[in-house]
Amino acid sequence: MGVKSDLVVGNGKDEVPHIDNVGDEKTKKAGRKLPTDVADENLLHGWALYSMASSVVFAVLLVALTATILGTATPSITDEFHTVQDVGCNLPLGGCVMIFFGFFIKLPITHLTDSKLKFHQKFLTIDLIGFCGVAVSCVMLLLGLEYGGSIDPWNSATVIGLLCGGAVGIVLLIGWFIYKGDEALIPPRLLKDRINASIGITAFLQGGGIYLSSYWLPIWFQGVKEASPIGSGVMILPTIISQFIAAVVCGALVQRLGYYLPEVIFGNALIAAGAAMMIIMTPSSSEGFWIGFQILMGAGRGFVLQLLVTAMQTNLPREDASLGASFVSFSQYLAGAIFAAVAKAVFTSSIPNTLHEYAPEVSPSLVIDTGVTEFKNVVSSPDLPGVLLAYNKSLNHVFTIQLACSAAALVSGFFVGWRKVNAKKRKSPEDVEASTGEDLTETEGDKSGLPETKKQSA
């Protein structure tokens, strides 16, 4: 107000002159690039943008198809491999990729100090203690869930020790991350904001709701519908196709509306609806039924699977965007691993009860130990219909966990924030100087955004 009042007095006029973007005009006349100009130059346009987007979309589709069809057929495929020489060719290929990535891929510099660090200095900045702590805690927790009820009883010292060790490790990790602060593997500043914490919780619950169906639905097809491993992969194509279409639609909606919250809620609602239909499946369920809930589940996955990454990046500054994306993906995959182990424990624990109800003459260990594709060959024909009903009911218990995760993700999704996605963020002068090598430090006259002549007349 003081600057504007001085200008009014100096000019002797009754209205305030228009002074917006005066500093920007002066900067342009001086031949210097504004941060927004540098950002626009780095963006892809035309055929380059179309080619990149199309490549990413089809790459995601091919990965999804590979994960479903080949992933479900992996047990049958690996029966043909008996030595390291059969599959050892993957090791040198992976090593070549790591070497190529380490020496030829240049990641963007987020801070000016990063470009001045040597390799060993960058290596020392890695939180190795946090990384080892996360790995050890997760392994102990997952092994405890894996052993419980299937290898050792739940009250055994091994299972209790693994579960308690994993829980204590997680508590110690939280304390370590707080102690390390911004240098931690997961900086606490990522979750200080309520919206970011809600996104992390939603991603965790969402992972449990999404990845359980990816693992257990093919088992339902193989065990209850008596499909082959490859056939079960083909039978879940409705999930992949609807996910692919919904992902494209979701991207267009977010770009059009500018907000991610409606799509998050809608996607989680579709997943919850599909999960609710899965708990009432029976051996006599028609093709229209299991194709229908797969379309709901796949469309929901297409809407929300990557949208939370966008939501987290929207709520974080530029230098923390990659950390936020990694944290969301880590939460989803960790939840998938944890709930998959929980689901297996529920399944193996419920099989004896369901067999006692539908096929009391069949031993539970016979069904569990022979595997999903082989138990039909060792069970007598009169007992097979009862075994299929028991198998189906145990899988319904597993899908109940999926429904609980999906419903909880739907509730927590309401708290991920009403933020605009396509709001433009200006780069800081330090970021532009790092990318262009130009000095964008403003003079005292530039900070006010007014030409020097205006200041003198004022």
CATH number of the domain that residue 285 is part of: 1.20.1250.20
**Domain membership flag for residue 96:** no
**Domain membership flag for residue 251:** yes
Is 325 in the same domain as 349? yes
φ/ψ (deg, to 5) at 34: -75, 160
- pLDDT, position 22: 44
Domain span holding position 249: 48-77+193-422
**Domain membership flag for residue 456:** no
- Using CA atoms, how far apart are residues 201 and 192, in angstroms rounded to an integer? 13
| CB burial readout 211-220, b (16+ within 10 A) else e | bbbbbbbbbb
Q: What is the pLDDT along the chain (458 residues), one digit of tens a residue?
A: 444 433 333 444 444 444 444 444 444 444 444 444 444 555 556 666 656 666 666 666 666 666 555 555 555 555 555 555 555 666 677 777 777 766 666 655 555 445 566 666 666 677 788 888 888 888 888 888 888 777 788 888 888 999 899 899 989 988 988 888 877 788 888 888 888 889 989 999 988 888 888 888 888 888 888 888 788 888 888 988 898 888 888 888 888 888 888 889 999 999 999 999 999 988 888 888 999 989 999 999 888 888 888 888 888 888 788 888 888 888 888 888 888 888 888 888 888 888 888 888 888 888 877 777 777 788 888 888 888 898 899 999 999 999 999 999 999 989 988 888 765 554 444 444 444 444 444 434 344 444 444 444 44
- Cα(first)–Cα(last) distance of the chain, in Å? 13
3-state secondary structure 283-335: CCCCHHHHHHHHHHHHHHHHHHCCHHHHHHHHCCCHHHHHHHHHHHHHHHHHH
- pLDDT, position 168: 92
- pLDDT, position 273: 92
Query: CA 137, 347, 375, 234 torsion: positive or negative?
Result: negative
**Domain membership flag for residue 412:** yes
- pLDDT, position 209: 84
**Domain membership flag for residue 171:** yes
Is 400 in the same domain as 292? yes
Is 137 in the same domain as 247? no
Is 347 in the same domain as 365? yes
Is 136 in the same domain as 260? no
**Domain membership flag for residue 95:** no
Is 53 in the same domain as 178? no
Is 290 in the same domain as 364? yes
**Domain membership flag for residue 239:** yes
Sequence-ordered list of residues with C-beta below 8 angstroms from that of 106, at least 6 positions apart, any chain: none
Is 204 in the same domain as 346? yes
Is 180 in the same domain as 197? no
Is 162 in the same domain as 284? no
- pLDDT, position 400: 92
Is 137 in the same domain as 256? no
Is 267 in the same domain as 232? yes
Query: CA 195, 198, 203, 204 torsion: positive or negative?
Result: positive
- Using CA atoms, how far apart are residues 247 and 57, in angstroms rounded to an integer? 9
> Count of domains in the chain?
2
Q: State the virtual CA torsion across 40, 46, 48, 52 in degrees, nearest 10.
A: 90
> Nearest to residue 250, comparing CAs of 235, 260, 241, 240?
260
Global confidence as pTM: 0.70
Radius of gyration of the chain (CA): 28
